[in-house]
Structure 1
Amino acid sequence: MTFEFVCHATPSMRSVWGPGALGQIAVELDRVRAESVVLVCGRSMSADDATMSSVREALGTRLAGVFSAAREHSPVTSVEEAARVIEDASADAVIALGGGSAIVTARAASILVAEAVPVRELATTRGADGRLVSPRLAAPKLPQFILATTPTTAYAKAGAAVRDTETGERLALFDPKARASVVIFDERLAETAPSALVVSASLNALSMSVDGVQSARSDPLAEAYFAQAIREIVTTLPCIVAGDEGDTGSSRVRLMIAALMAGHASDFVGTGISQPLSHAIGPVSTTSNGNVEALLLPHVARFNMDVTSGQLAKVGGVVSRERVSAHDVPGLLEAFLADIDAPTTLREIGIEKADFPTIIAHAHDDWSLTRVPKPIDADGLRALLEEAW
């Protein structure tokens, strides 16, 4: 087998899990000599007195400030407020406690503090030639730490997408220096998340993995990460949905590790059409991005079929644990989503056909659409939305 040229440079990140994982945060902060840290979380987490007490105890006198208003889709106003807390505390490290919203808010706020210019001057834009261009953000960034509560691919990312609530635009900030140094998976923290949030976040990781396996770029290391992530999610997620004895801190940590693998792998090969569409649909729907992305998967698989059949067959083999045809995969995905009672149509999540033009416009300007295995234009996006509706 002949490989194309690949440079697979794995980012430096320390991952910690197992008994007493939360206590390791002090060791990791000592490693970078952090003495004044700001904790970023959402309001529901800040209201959990027992969890906050445990985290405060683990951080000790290092805790210099708390921003407890991280919100879904990381609105610019929320990120700017977090940046002010970080500045006021003269922080030398930032810790996100929670899932994707807290992580992205912490990362974006740290970029704002370091660069000291308005967020729009830092965002990826479309150049005169139609290509998306990310400005080089040269300022050093504060070390980022994550105390995870939900499975999210955001652990592994260098980007931070924030939302301008006035225009509805998704502003993408990209800076590898803002990537997390350490992510800690503690079972007690994992047990704090609502089951519905665990499910939707895991579906995001599953979607990223299924899309990633279909990438036009060959990278066996990334493919191995994706395959293991899919295997873990389709095995473990039904236990969470059933709410039986399988819904434990340990099983949730397994989903978190799967999400970490999916996030890492997608940096090397890109993702698929489901992701930019979910970014555009999520904020105007009645559900989370993960649910949106997952319901689109079977439709995207059918669209890709003529160019990704070999890779789709691999997906089917992992999902069904037996040899299957690529043409069976959309049905396998639909059956899995039905089994866990996930939404399967855009109608179910409050999307109207009148929303399609805005969704298509925002998806077209999403950077992730530049790395899909089969290019798609506005007419193709509309046809896909019609099929999913």
Structure 2
Amino acid sequence: MSTIENFQFINSPLRLFHGDDSLRRLGAELDRLGCKRAVIFSGPFLEGVLLERIRAAVGDRLAGIYTGTLAHSPIPSVIEAADELRRLEADAVVAVGGGSVIVTSRAAAILLAEGTDVRSLCTVRDGSGGLKSPKLMAPKLPQFVVPTTPATASVKAGSALFDPETGDRLALFDPKTRAQAVFYDPTMLMSAPRSLVINASINTFATAVEGLVSRNGNPIADALLMHSIRLSGSNIRKLPTDDTAQRRGDLALAAVLCGQGTDHTGAGITTVLGHAIGARHEVDNGLVNAVVLPYVLRFNADSAPAGLSKVAAAMSLTQTGPGVLDAVLGETRRILSEAGAPTRLRDLKVPSEHLQEIAFASMGDWFLGGNPRKVTDAEQIYTLLDEAW
């Protein structure tokens, strides 16, 4: 008797508004949840026409504006943001910006609601090496997201914070902090520097590739990730010379597809190294991903033949069997090169003497569990880093 594959695909609801009229829906979405004191979160870039555009969309529901979010969401800035939500008696957060703004907004809502030390709220490894996230039961402020870059964070429920004192990366997870609605407005998307859009889109591309070759997955998640690769790969290589609102909008949708797909598949070493290097060395995660992805693909090749074939199909490559790896590596390098991405960690000013420390720090990242080839010790990571340096 034949059998079929067992899997579950349980997706969270997503209210997404895309295009010229998208921001006009923000007020109605706030009203839908009865929100009357919304606080806008952003970085210092939000001023002039952009600020007035968001103000108009929020209308008389605006309780205040916080512009103190920082790259990589360091813990002190998140605590400050939570204090600001408390002071303003907020009943909603409107996050305007890239991944760090979106993550800071979510994490601040968690700290505000739970009222305890951030480390007690984090995902940790249990005695068997598995991951355990505490159940954060307090109600959370609803999140409304207006991205300015193609950030996969827009549709996620996890929040990764950086501890500048220890160098640790802490993870908070609460499904109640998923965005109630996401608004892709062309004016906001065009406001970000092209370099930030390229870096964020490289992160999307690399993460989608990792999702397809991960240990997990199912046909529906695969479909999301394969189309994410098509959209991100075809657009980031053209963005340096042909930057349009349509292209940025497609890259934003690629980030949504990647964010939803990797909720089911996880990621792997490329994502882990982006985390480990990005905050420590003040480098955009996407640039780290661009450097290490080809090396990670080769590292994982023997453990992920089916995944590599899916990536090849997403890239419209025809090679099969033993030739798939070289074909995928060649196309990956072409896409990243045309996007203007770096090729070596030394190009990112990562000191070679820090590679060992980065390797050890990477071993504690929860995303390592999704890597198709099991990583047994930090020396494997160090060897890969040394090759990429």
Asked if 2 retains the 8 angstrom alpha-carbon contact of 1:297 and 1:330, the reply is no
Asked if 2 retains the 8 angstrom alpha-carbon contact of 1:94 and 1:106, the reply is yes
Structure 2 matches for 1:29-44, cutoff 5 A? Answer: 29-44=30-45
Structure 2 matches for 1:240-255, cutoff 5 A? Answer: 240-242=239-241, 244=242, 247-255=243-251
Q: Report how many residues are paired.
A: 384
Q: Deviations over 1:191-235 (max 9, x none)?
A: 100000000000111011100111222401111111111101111
> Shift in Å at residue 286 of structure 1?
5.3
> Shift in Å at residue 4 of structure 1?
3.6
Give the stretch that moved more between structures: 374-383 or 96-105: 374-383
Residue 225 and residue 2 in structure 1: after superposition, are their counterparts in 2 closer, same or farther (change >3 A)?
farther
Asked if 2 retains the 8 angstrom alpha-carbon contact of 1:4 and 1:218, the reply is no
2:207 corresponds to: 208
Residue 372 and residue 238 in structure 1: after superposition, are their counterparts in 2 closer, same or farther (change >3 A)?
same
Please point out which of 271, 275, 279 is paired with 1:279: 275
> Shift in Å at residue 123 of structure 1?
1.1
SS at match of 1:172: strand
Please point out which of 317, 324, 327 is paired with 1:326: 324
Give the structure-2-normalised TM-score.
0.95
Which one-letter code corresponds to 1:163 in the other structure?
F
User: Hey, what's the Cα distance between the residues in 1 that align with 2:282 and 2:29?
Assistant: 39
Unaligned runs of 5+ in 1: none
Structure 2 matches for 1:256-295, cutoff 5 A? Answer: 256-285=252-281, 287-295=283-291
> Shift in Å at residue 360 of structure 1?
1.5
> Shift in Å at residue 131 of structure 1?
3.3
Which one-letter code corresponds to 1:327 in the other structure?
L
Unaligned runs of 5+ in 2: none
User: Hey, what's the Cα distance between the residues in 2 that align with 1:24 and 1:68?
Assistant: 23
> Shift in Å at residue 320 of structure 1?
4.4
SS at match of 2:386: helix
User: Hey, what's the Cα distance between the residues in 1 that align with 2:9 and 2:340?
Assistant: 37
Corresponding position: 1:23 with 2:33:
no
User: Hey, what's the Cα distance between the residues in 1 that align with 2:224 and 2:111?
Assistant: 32
User: Hey, what's the Cα distance between the residues in 1 that align with 2:127 and 2:112?
Assistant: 29
User: Hey, what's the Cα distance between the residues in 2 that align with 1:33 and 1:298?
Assistant: 48
> Shift in Å at residue 128 of structure 1?
3.9
2:170 corresponds to: 171
SS at match of 1:64: strand
Corresponding position: 1:310 with 2:306:
yes
Q: Deviations over 1:158-178 (max 9, x none)?
A: 110111111111111011111
Asked if 1 retains the 8 angstrom alpha-carbon contact of 2:237 and 2:335, the reply is no
User: Hey, what's the Cα distance between the residues in 2 that align with 1:162 and 1:149?
Assistant: 20
Q: Deviations over 1:248-268 (max 9, x none)?
A: 122111100100100000010
Structure 2 matches for 1:205-244, cutoff 5 A? Answer: 205-242=204-241, 244=242
Asked if 2 retains the 8 angstrom alpha-carbon contact of 1:65 and 1:85, the reply is no
> Shift in Å at residue 353 of structure 1?
2.2
Asked if 1 retains the 8 angstrom alpha-carbon contact of 2:150 and 2:197, the reply is yes
Asked if 1 retains the 8 angstrom alpha-carbon contact of 2:268 and 2:369, the reply is no
1:194 corresponds to: 193
Residue 373 and residue 4 in structure 1: after superposition, are their counterparts in 2 closer, same or farther (change >3 A)?
farther
Structure 2 matches for 1:1-389, cutoff 5 A? Answer: 3-44=4-45, 46=46, 48-242=47-241, 244=242, 247-285=243-281, 287-323=283-319, 325-328=323-326, 329-376=328-375, 377-389=377-389
Give the structure-1-normalised TM-score.
0.95
Give the stretch that moved more between structures: 331-340 or 173-182: 331-340
Residue 281 and residue 221 in structure 1: after superposition, are their counterparts in 2 closer, same or farther (change >3 A)?
same
Alignment RMSD: 1.5
> Shift in Å at residue 387 of structure 1?
1.3
User: Hey, what's the Cα distance between the residues in 2 that align with 1:3 and 1:205?
Assistant: 31
> Shift in Å at residue 356 of structure 1?
1.5
User: Hey, what's the Cα distance between the residues in 2 that align with 1:227 and 1:188?
Assistant: 28
User: Hey, what's the Cα distance between the residues in 1 that align with 2:213 and 2:222?
Assistant: 9
Asked if 1 retains the 8 angstrom alpha-carbon contact of 2:238 and 2:339, the reply is no
Which one-letter code corresponds to 2:324 in the other structure?
A
User: Hey, what's the Cα distance between the residues in 1 that align with 2:149 and 2:339?
Assistant: 18
User: Hey, what's the Cα distance between the residues in 2 that align with 1:137 and 1:53?
Assistant: 35
Which one-letter code corresponds to 1:145 in the other structure?
F
User: Hey, what's the Cα distance between the residues in 2 that align with 1:25 and 1:100?
Assistant: 20
Q: Deviations over 1:244-291 (max 9, x none)?
A: 3xx112211110010010000001011121011110011233531011
Asked if 2 retains the 8 angstrom alpha-carbon contact of 1:66 and 1:85, the reply is no
> Shift in Å at residue 147 of structure 1?
0.7
SS at match of 2:179: coil
User: Hey, what's the Cα distance between the residues in 2 that align with 1:2 and 1:289?
Assistant: 41
Q: Deviations over 1:314-359 (max 9, x none)?
A: 2123224544532221222122212222011111111122112221
Residue 131 and residue 218 in structure 1: after superposition, are their counterparts in 2 closer, same or farther (change >3 A)?
closer
Q: Among the aligned pairs, what percent are the same residue?
A: 40
